[in-house]
Chains A and B, each alone.
Chain A
């Protein structure tokens, strides 16, 4: 190294060369250190979400066209902690093989809505968002119909993956 430096001509050249050497190495080391840190920091963007299937009950337990709130316990991994969290969903049985399961949060600002039996509609108490039995917006500020959980019926049992999906 020192031979190269001494052979590089007069001291202005040497100075210039060393300065460039310094800045390129510092940049290199800085990037080398930043790369793993940035990757680590942005990790949550890369992680896949766990899809857990939950059994909500037998389809025959639900009454047709009467929305019913179902609570269930989900064992979920959150980083290094496995926790049992209580969750809820609204189940609307249209027929024995057509069941809708709604995410329990209003699509406006995420408040919890409920079913009004007399008025035959879902009401969100925060800003008076209204949905019909199929989750379509019939009044108030909600921007889109209620989100659903993908549901499947196997052997008369209702299973959902409790991840909210927008309806097209």
Chain B
């Protein structure tokens, strides 16, 4: 091993690697430092996971509103291992918040923030804030509904800060409203500024950790002289003794850290594998039925706001969190006594236990609070088709239920007899099935054609329904609902229901009404609790979605779809 040794000598002479290595790894750790002390190393490991996965995710991410969502979807659905990489990143973020918080709790309970480790504590609090900042800026990036609305709420909260609030929100968003500039700002914060700050803080934090040593476990009823100078000297001397009696950091503490890291990593892998993070629906500022919810680690704030009505809201939104942060930062200065055991400081311990219980309780209550909007995600393909139709400017020539151009037929009403196969040929070459059609060939790919077909199907009621659908609808629905003049009046008239609700909404509503509208009086119809199978409900849902109040729609309740209105001659 001559060459290896020579190389090591070469570096040592120039950089002093051996001395640095000794200072970092041969330093002794006091006895009794248990598994709970691995949380710091786990946090560092999670930071490395976030940095590595984040750097690779950035290769396939576009921080603009028109591409962000699609690029995240590309990562999840097309890039090899993309779902795994993003899964690690998203779950890693949650793990980071959790581990860092518990790490801080341990530091607090063991009084490790006290002399001489005040600087370690303060840098740790700043690190927690940066981690939360990374979480907040990170979940806007997929530009989905959750991202959009959670950020909307987040920046509105900043707006409530006294005096400077509106200015802060304006700067955060890069404008009056969430948009392209918000996304690039958040992106720059998330991948450049905050990681750089985090790196500096981690460097400082580790430096003071090594410099002051890992705190020894606190001793119950520790006797210390009243004179602070003597007391501090005694603390230092006792620590030196505890340290001398301990084992070196490498490999004794590091092996423990490695085992804990392995456990955390395996959990992350399993989570990323079994529950890949969702892509969601693309952000839609006009959507009114989405239920905005923040990430779980901001849920307690979300829930807290509910208890502070009206003018007091800014107290919960801004004042309390700010006071909390200030208290954490100033903690080592406010509490300068040297006794560290949690039972020797009952007040401090009780305060933090109460706070922790309150935060956990608020988080659970926030997670359990019912979703008030009946939100059904649109089927992915329908969504794709809708966006493509917008991109291709279909509305210049076609209307959807009366809105749009008049050159071509109305997409929601025409072509009722045309199935997927017909539309497939039609979209590829309109003149092939409609001679003389004015519609240009669009040169679309197969996936795009599938999406357009799904969209048109959804527009005209979610696809063809069976002959039994009208009869089943009469049998099961007309006791309470009126359709085209016939039926009961316990529930709303369903004659034009297709104009208001999509097939997917109607389907889910028939299956389980209360999941969408909490105070619904209607029973669920899905077997075994109800009389209908999934397929029958789908049939009825398609039939109901085809019920339109639009005048040109003349479809009779008793007629199956195949004999619907005859406007297909100008289809295309």
Contact = CB atoms under 8 A, between A and B. Distances in A.
B59 interface: yes
Contacts of A39: 80-81, 84
A26 interface: yes
Given A29-B261, A43-B80, A74 B443 contact: yes
Contacts of B52: 33, 37
A27 to B, nearest CB: 10
Contacts of B262: 25, 28-29
Nearest to B82: A40
Given A40-B80, A43-B81, A19 B251 contact: yes
Nearest to A77: B445
8 contacts: A1-B259, A15-B252, A18-B252, A29-B261, A32-B265, A33-B49, A41-B56, A75-B443
A157 to B, nearest CB: 11
Interface stretch (B67-75, B461-469, B519-527): B67-75
B98 interface: no
Interface in A44-99: 46-47, 50, 52, 54, 73-75, 77, 79-82, 84
A28 B261 CA distance: 11
Centre residue among B49, B254, B255 by max chain A CB count within 10 A: B255
Interface in B505-546: none
Interface in B81-138: 81-82, 84-85, 88
Given A21-B251, A22-B254, A40-B56, A75 B445 contact: yes
A41 B59 contact: yes
B62 interface: yes
A81 B265 contact: no
Given A21-B255, A28-B262, A75-B442, 9 more contacts: A33-B52, A37-B53, A37-B56, A39-B81, A40-B80, A43-B81, A74-B443, A79-B71, A80-B74
A21 B269 CA distance: 21
A43 B77 CA distance: 12
A40 B56 CA distance: 8
A80 B67 contact: yes
Interface string A114-147: 0000000000000000000000000000000000
A36 B67 contact: no
Centre residue among B59, B250, B251 by max chain A CB count within 10 A: B251
Contacts of B259: 1, 21, 25
Contact of A43 (B79, B250, B254, B442): B79
Given A25-B262, A79-B60, A52 B445 contact: yes
B197 interface: no
B258 A25 contact: yes
A22 B250 contact: yes
Contacts of A77: 445, 447
Contacts of A54: 443
B261 A25 contact: yes
Contacts of A79: 60, 71, 74, 78
A142 to B, nearest CB: 32
Given A79-B60, A79-B71, A80-B70, A36 B251 contact: no
A82 B80 contact: no
A89 to B, nearest CB: 15
Centre residue among A39, A43, A80 by max chain B CB count within 10 A: A80
Interface string B248-281: 0011101100110110010001000000000000
Interface residues of B, number: 38
> Ordered nearest first, which 8 A-B pairs have the shortest CB separation?
A80-B70, A39-B81, A80-B74, A19-B251, A25-B258, A18-B255, A18-B251, A36-B84
A36 B85 contact: yes
A40 B227 CA distance: 61
B448 interface: yes
B53 to A, nearest CB: 7
B258 A26 contact: yes
B70 A15 contact: no
Interface of B: 45, 49, 52-53, 56, 59-60, 62, 67, 70-71, 73-74, 78-82, 84-85, 88, 250-252, 254-255, 258-259, 261-262, 265, 269, 442-445, 447-448
Contacts of A22: 250-251, 254-255, 258
Interface residues of A, number: 34
A41 B84 CA distance: 12
A80 B45 CA distance: 31
Centre residue among A19, A21, A40, A54 by max chain B CB count within 10 A: A40
Contacts of B442: 75
A15 to B, nearest CB: 6
B193 to A, nearest CB: 24
Centre residue among B62, B84, B443, B444 by max chain A CB count within 10 A: B443
A63 to B, nearest CB: 25
B251 A46 contact: no
Contacts of A43: 79-82
Contacts of B73: 80
A158 to B, nearest CB: 15
A50 to B, nearest CB: 8
Nearest to A37: B56
Contacts of B445: 50, 52, 75, 77, 82
Contacts of B45: 29
B40 to A, nearest CB: 16
A28 B62 CA distance: 32
A43 to B, nearest CB: 4
B60 to A, nearest CB: 7
B448 A82 contact: yes
Contacts of B447: 77
A42 B269 CA distance: 20
Contacts of B255: 18-19, 21-22, 25
A36 B62 contact: no
A15 B53 contact: no
Contacts of A75: 442-445, 448
A162 B80 CA distance: 25
A29 B42 CA distance: 12
Contact of A36 (B71, B78, B81, B261): B81
Nearest to B248: A15
A155 B20 CA distance: 78
Given A33-B49, A36-B88, A40-B56, A81 B70 contact: yes
Nearest to A34: B52
Given A37-B53, A41-B56, A84 B251 contact: no
